[in-house]
Every structure is written in C-alpha cells, then in structure tokens.
Structure 1
Amino acid sequence: MAVIDHPEKTELKQKDPCVFEIIVSVMPELKIGDCQNLKISHQPVETKESEVEDYLNELRKTLAEFKEVQQPAQKGNRLEISLTATDEKNMPVAKLTTQNHPLILGETKILKTLETNLIGMLPKEKKSFQSKLDHLPQDSTLTNQVFNFEVTLNKVEEMILPEVSPEFIQKVTGQSFSLEQFQTEIKNLLLNQKKEQELRRREIELIDALLKITEGEIPLVLVEQELQEMQARLAHELEHQGMQLETYLTQQNLSWEALKRKWQPQAEREVKIGLIFEELLKKEPALPTETEIQAQIKLLSTGTHKKQPDFKKDSPAYLKLIRQMRLQKIVNTLLEK
C-alpha cells in the first residue's frame, strides 16, 4: 500500500491496548486493458516542392532590403503606422494605441480589418474604421467589443528580396552548397519536422487509446496536487512577462476557484496518464545501458546553448533521464505494434 498524502484523519479509538484509526489516500490500482492490440494510425509524410519554395522565400525575407516609396500600400510592403482606438463609450484604449509601428502588409494576425483599410492608402493618409479583434491577446476585456480606430500611414517601403546566389546560401547556412544541394537540405529539414510532428500526433493518439482502456478511480488529492503545479507553472510564465497571477485573474475576470474548475478535466487527464505510465513502467523493468544513457546526454547537449543539468551518475537529473528513456521505450514499443 503506497500512501500518497498526509492522513486525512487520525483518531484514538482505544487506549488499552492502544488502537488508532488513520484515514489516508493511497495509490490507486488501475486496470489497463490489452495494450498489445492497440492500433495507432499512420499518416503519410512528404514535403512538396511548393513548401521548399515557401521556406526559401521566408529565408530571403530575413535578408531583405527595404526602399521607401511614394505609392499606394500593397501586400508585401513594410509599413509604418500610427494607430489610436476608442471603445463604444469613446474612451481611449491604451492597449490598442501605438505610434510608428512597423508591419508587413498581409501578415497581421490581430486585426485583419486594419489590413483591408491599409491596402491602397498613400503615405501620410489617415483613415477611420470600426472593427472587433480577429486574434485576441490574453485579455478578456477586449473580447466581443467594437472599437473605433484611426490609422495614419506614416511610411511605405518596398521589400527587395535578395537573389538566391552562392553568396546568399553561404550567408544563411555557412556552407558552400549548390542551389540543388541547398534545396535538398531544406527539403530534408522540412521532412524531419513533419516526421517529428507525426510522431507527436501518434503519441497523443496512443495516450488517448490508453485512457480509453484503463479503469480505476483517480484520488482527488493527486488532482489537487496537479492543479497546484499548473498554477505554479502559470505564475512562473506570467512572471517572465512581468505580470502577477492575481493581475491575470483580474483581467480574465476569474477567481482561482473558477480557474481550477476550468482546469479540472485537464488535471484529471494528466494524473491518469501519469498513473498509467507508472503501471507500464512496472512491467518494463529493463534499464537503458550506460552507453545508451551517455549517447542521450550527448544528444541533449548538441546544438543548444541552454545550460544542461548535471547528469552526474545517480544525480536527480540522471535518474530523471533514465525514467524518460524507459518511458520513451515503452511508447515506441506500443507505436510499433
């Protein structure tokens, strides 16, 4: 019996002989169905020539030059705009007000109506319009409101893309590739990205399948612990954005209890997934070899500038890595069925 939290109740029932009643939460016993016959779908992975061309054009944009022009704005131009906004009560909205803001016409995500109005405008021209936001930022106070905008087009610049020359290839890759070799490199890069995405998709499908064939009660104490961890992660992310959790909850018009209710299904899912894999680990006692562990450590430290944990033998990071490798082996085995 594995106890997973402090006792919920401790009561002296009898003094002589001494008898206590202690109520505690224990690790549940899950019943996992037949894993060996799970059928996880495969989706074909390929890279089209048009995708290679699109990727190449995005690389060209990173080294593009811009020339100021006195002509109507069109898609692909880099613009500099000033924007003011007022709400339905004609009160200024500071979060939607900006001065000398650069953007590439055709790539705006927050306000598509803005792009519609900018097309055809001349430098120094002003225009007023009304609109909602198409892609809402993390602020529910801006949801479902119609705003009054006034935009001034300060500058129009034409984008001049570089030719795909040997010099360009050398600059973006650091290698002396021919155009054909460069396109092959891009194709392989995109293909590997798609393979990784397909693997992630299949892993999610596998987890969903495991959840469906697993029976057992989930202790509320574990769900509560997961909710606390979710709260801590959110607070950490907000702190990096210069915001406190309390401020975020106020902006979202949420209480912590309301947010917990919203998160409850996800927390229950995460707990159940963790318990399932703990059960599967019991059935897969084999450990990776030291050679495999060192190879994985080397792989983790390759191509990254992030500080890596200290993988000293038997350290917490080392043991965590072994557990991750064991879990990945289980997942890979089930995906190969």
Structure 2
Amino acid sequence: MQYQAVVRKFGPAEEVVGIERAELPPLARDKVRVRLLARSINPSDIITISGAYAGRSTLPFIPGFEAFGVVEECGEEVCGPSPGLRVLPVRSAGGWQEFKDTDPNWCLRVPDALSDFEAATSYVNPMTAWLMLHQKIGLKSGMSIAINAAASSIGSILIGMANAVGVEPIAIVRSEASLARLRGRLEAVIIDKAENDLAAGLAGRHGLDAVLDCVGGPRASVLADALKPGGLFLHYGLLSGESIPPAFWASHPDIAFSYCHLREWVHSEAIDDVQRAYSEVAAQIAAGVIATEVREVFPLERVGEALRAALPFRTGGKVLLA
C-alpha cells in the first residue's frame, strides 16, 4: 500500500487534491520503481490541476512534476539503473505519491553531493533558468538583462547563474519585503509597486539584450521598451494572471519574442543531452552558485495543508512534501 495525492476533477488545488491509499501494482518488465523521498510544489503543478492543460491530462491523475527518490526495484528487462541509485524521474507527472513506476531511460542521475531537499528542487526552476540563459539567450559576460519577480525562487537562481558568467542583472521586485530577499550582484533594483514605477526605473535604459518575464500583463510593454533592436523578450510565466496585451507585438516589431517551457524542451531532446544539462545545474547547486530556499516541509498525507502553505507563490521559499 502507498499514499497517493489524487486529482479526480479539475479546480483549485486546495479543493480538488485528495489523499488516498492504493495497492502497488506489479512492476512492468521494462520499468523501474522509484521510492520517492521529497517532492516540490510548483506553479506548473497548480496550473495542471486547475485544468488549464486538460487536453494532456486524463482524470484521475497524480500530480507532481518534480520529485526525488531512489530506485527501489527494476523490471526484468531493465539494464542500467540499479536499486539504490538516486534519481529524478522526469517527463511525466506522478511525483505526489510514495512510489512511482517509470521509464528507466528518463531517470536523471542525482549526484551524492546534493541533499535530498536540494535534489527535490534541482529540476524545474534550475533547469528552466539554465534553458533560458544558456540555450535561449546564449548568456555571456557583458550582456545586459532584466529579470522580474527577481526575489522568487527562480529569480534568485537566474541571478546566481548570471553572476557566474559575470553578468549583473537589473532586478525588478514588487515590495520592500521582496527587496530584502534579493541575493547576488545586481546592476540595479527597481521596486515596481505603483503604475509608473517600472517605467521610471527603466528610464534611460534602452539597450537591454534580454528581458526575462514571468509576470505578463501590461507591464510587458514597458519592459520591451527597454530592449535594444533585436533584443530578446523571453516570456515564461503569468504571475499577474493577465496575458500580454495584443498590442504588445504591433508596438514592438523590432524585438525577438520567445516563450520558454521546460516541458517542451525536455520532450524534444535526447536523454543524454538533458542529463548533461542537469549535471551542469547540479554542479552549480553543489558549489553553492545557486540555491533554493525551503520554507516548509509536510508529509505527503498532509498535502492539503502543504498546498495552503505554498499558495500564493509570491511568498519566498519552496514548500516540499517529504
């Protein structure tokens, strides 16, 4: 028997995620069974539970895209992973349970240098940050970039990765409390509380190489105004709950716009390439270049309390199920 967090209807996560007990099925010959030890609660989980991606989620389902564990058992046809191997099973949800049966080819190897909690927060945000900075932007010393929601978990990772190559970003936050959580070397900090704060803070800055936006809404146009011709506007989240207005594209014909979704990249790449990227990220975590604050930890069977603690995501630090 095992505990599972199960979604049987789409809706607000605090209302529709239930905890159930279930029998472990026989292990398929070509799968590995991973005993999960720690799991993150991420915005992508909440969005999926809401039904926003209903076309690729079949009810009922077990949520959780980021979970760390050890291989417990291998099917008869499995070559490679062996019991005791520390892994992150990726490419599918199902992390909010005690055991996950999964494809051994999509278990990222986790180095011993990472703690269980570091491992459980080493995939979604760090890999997304790596993808944006190194694959999308081609970050190098001397570039000028701006990051909003800069005091968020992923914001601090972006700052750390940028600093590692000699780049000091412009950080945009919404409050003094967020300002107090900022870490790393920064070119400037803009506190964007009122309507015109962002425009005032960016005044005179019209040569940015890239903007990393996870907020959306009408402020996207203000950010784009600060890009140089051909500069990259990278959009990867919607914390404001407001879409970028349609007029954005017509008023900024000379910039390059791109979405960034880790899932699409992982599903299109060979596992060896994903593992190489993950190994780079894990090395930066082990070296203290980047880090994720863990705010609270709940046992899996108290997933409802954990969700209430995790939301809204503007509050600093990750909530884990462990």
TM range, normalised to the smaller chain?
under 0.3
Structure of greater Rg: 1
Q: TM-score, normalised by structure 1?
A: 0.19
Q: Select the structure that is richer in strand.
A: 2
Q: Which has the higher helix share?
A: 1
TM-score (norm 2): 0.20
